[in-house]
Chains A and B, each alone.
Chain A
Amino acid sequence: VSLTSLLHRASLLLASAALAAGFAWERQWSWAAFFLAAGGVGWIAAQLLAPKTYPAAARSASNRLGSVMFIFVVIAAALGILAEMPSLAMLVAILAALAAWDLNAFQARLALAPKDEKTLALEKAHLLRLGWVLGAGLFLSLAGLLVQIRLSLLWAMLLGVVVVFGIRLGLDALRGR
């Protein structure tokens, strides 16, 4: 079993466990049990849809299932936020779901690669970048959770425009490296 596969299953479980923990924190036991069960079903489906050879049909089915699971967790987390469940748990669920969605697709692509050192390097590079991206996402989200500034609408709009242009300029500068 490759590291990608292990991490994929672990992130699936983590997503459902985070959702369940968040809902359990607010004593919503039935919802917590439901999310745990959904996580279990997703885990089993991931096991079944990951044959060694990964024929095209299985790959497509696996990608579809991965997307469905991702959307499901995002909706559940958004509803959890609206129902005032712990934000950190919902954030962790979103991060884990994003990781699971990415790893699911990567695993399917990886099945087409020969089992050699180059593939290992590719896997390592992918996991490293995913780790950085998830870390940055977690950091920025936590910063947003902890630091709260009140702005008027005008300032907020101005800041939004600056951010959009800043991102655009930053990306262009980085891509032109």
Chain B
Amino acid sequence: MTNRFWLLTVTIYGLLFLGMATLQGTALLLAIPLLVYLGAAILFAPLEEQQGRSHLSIQRQVSAHVVTQNTPVQIKVTLVNEGPAADELFLQDNIPAKVKQIQGDTRKLIPLAAGETAELDYSVSLGRGELDLQNTQAILSEHFGLLQRAIQLTNPGKIRAIPESLRLRKLTIQPQQTRGFSGPIPARQKGSGMSFWGVREYQMGDSLRRINWKVSARRTQWRDTSRTQDLFSNEFEQERIADVGLILDAREQTNTFLHGQDLFEYSVQATAALSEAFLADGHRVSLLTYGYGMSRVYPGYGKIQRELILNALAKVTPGSNYALESLNNLPTRLFPARSQLVMISPLGAQDFPAFIRLSRDDYEVLLVSPDPVSFAANIQSGKNRPEDLPNLHTAMRLARLERNLLLRKLNRLGVQVVDWPVDQPLDRTLNAVLGRQRLFRRNLKAVGL
């Protein structure tokens, strides 16, 4: 029974009471049209369920259960009426407000005959995360909307939107420890590989292909009148895969959220891209998210690991926890000793000691830091009043100085720092920084350092 039903009932009682109290028959007559209206509503009211069995059955079809974020997903809800006809059916699929509806209707008002089918067909676009569709609401009503029967039809459907992956070119890392399987990283040990390592005397069993004929010719010695020739074989550097531990900083205090835009989304995108790039190179990759709590994807290889990581990234949200306010409580034991760590974090001033600990423990650390200063500056510049702009510029300069100082300190500590202005492609920034560092290392090697 709706509010309108009670309003009408009270009005009818009021008129009847007035007629009887004042002994005015015509006042009673005024109630007659209202009584007829109410009677018609009662007559055509939707029937109650018998023995708790609903006459309506429902089915949901989703075009894809796992999609990349912002990809349209088609949702089709089909309701079949196995009971008597209803004058009106209001059908509504409850979707959260954050979900963007692109096409179609999530609610509908239609007449529903016995045995008839009603459909909701719409498409939505999801941001990163999980959409858990549970219930569809069906309200059966007579034409006047006085008597309704609301039914919650359980109709589960889950859609997971994984983060969009940015394509990255091949990344060069050089951890101190590699694993036993062949891969793309020079292992600093001689063995079978592609890169030249050195030359040694020929040993029985060496392939003829490996003989370095030039060196062998230079070392040819004439003893008396006979010529003895020493052969030399090339040695190659082993190429191995590495253990890569991705650490995503999901702390609320370091991830800037301004005017509906979240820096954390860039961190997630970067993590997804890096995991894909490392897995494509054959490395063993694990993920640790550090925010409200810590969640972990255990080390693994290949496509399944990629899926596990992307699923974990789909669920992660920034949060705060007093115990995890700084990176000092980072559980480094989860990562193999002397392996490659890739930290994705906008960083806070209090995080420096954590990097000292990581360097001391011989981890090779690559820091990809989405720049919160340029991110905030870009958003704020269009939103501020002109008279506030000088103050904003001063504040930004101070913040940038502070951040540059921190990044420089980290660089001196041996951390590879990638300062990523999020309005620029990650691939370009990564390659510019890593390429520079690669060149620097090659030069060091060339001068024998």
Contacts and interface: CB of A to CB of B under 8 A. Distances in A.
Interface of A: 63, 67, 70-71, 74, 77-78, 81-82, 87, 90-91, 94-95, 98, 102, 105-106, 109-110, 112-114, 118-119, 121-122, 125-126, 129-130, 132-134, 136-138, 140-141, 144-145, 148, 167, 171, 174-175
A138 B29 CA distance: 10
Interface stretch (B32-40, B157-165, B326-334, B432-440): B32-40
Q: Is the interface of B mostly helix, strand, loop or mixed?
A: helix
A91 B29 contact: yes
Given A78-B15, A81-B26, A133-B40, A67 B4 contact: yes
Interface of B: 4, 7, 11, 14-15, 18, 22, 24-30, 32-37, 39-40, 42-44, 47, 87-88, 90, 105, 107-111, 143-145
24 contacts: A67-B4, A70-B11, A74-B30, A78-B18, A81-B24, A81-B27, A81-B30, A87-B29, A95-B33, A98-B34, A98-B37, A112-B107, A114-B105, A122-B88, A122-B110, A122-B111, A125-B111, A125-B143, A133-B40, A138-B33, A141-B29, A141-B33, A171-B42, A174-B43
Contacts of A130: 143-144
A125 B144 CA distance: 11
Nearest to A108: B145
A171 B39 contact: yes
A169 to B, nearest CB: 13
Contact of B145 (A70, A105, A136, A144): A105
B37 A137 contact: yes
A126 B33 contact: no
B4 A105 contact: yes
A134 B24 contact: no
Nearest to A87: B26
A140 B111 contact: no
Nearest to A85: B26
A118 B37 CA distance: 24
B6 to A, nearest CB: 11
A109 B109 contact: yes
A112 B108 contact: yes
A110 B30 contact: no
A109 to B, nearest CB: 5
B22 A109 contact: no
Given A81-B30, A82-B22, A91-B30, A121 B37 contact: no
B196 to A, nearest CB: 72
Contacts of B109: 109-110, 112-113, 119, 122
Given A87-B29, A113-B109, 19 more contacts: A63-B4, A67-B7, A74-B11, A77-B30, A82-B27, A87-B26, A94-B33, A106-B143, A112-B109, A118-B110, A125-B87, A133-B37, A134-B37, A137-B35, A137-B36, A141-B30, A171-B39, A174-B43, A175-B43
A138 B33 CA distance: 6
B87 A171 contact: no
Given A91-B29, A140-B32, A74 B15 contact: yes
A119 B24 contact: no
B143 A126 contact: yes
A137 B36 CA distance: 6
Nearest to B35: A137
B32 A141 contact: yes
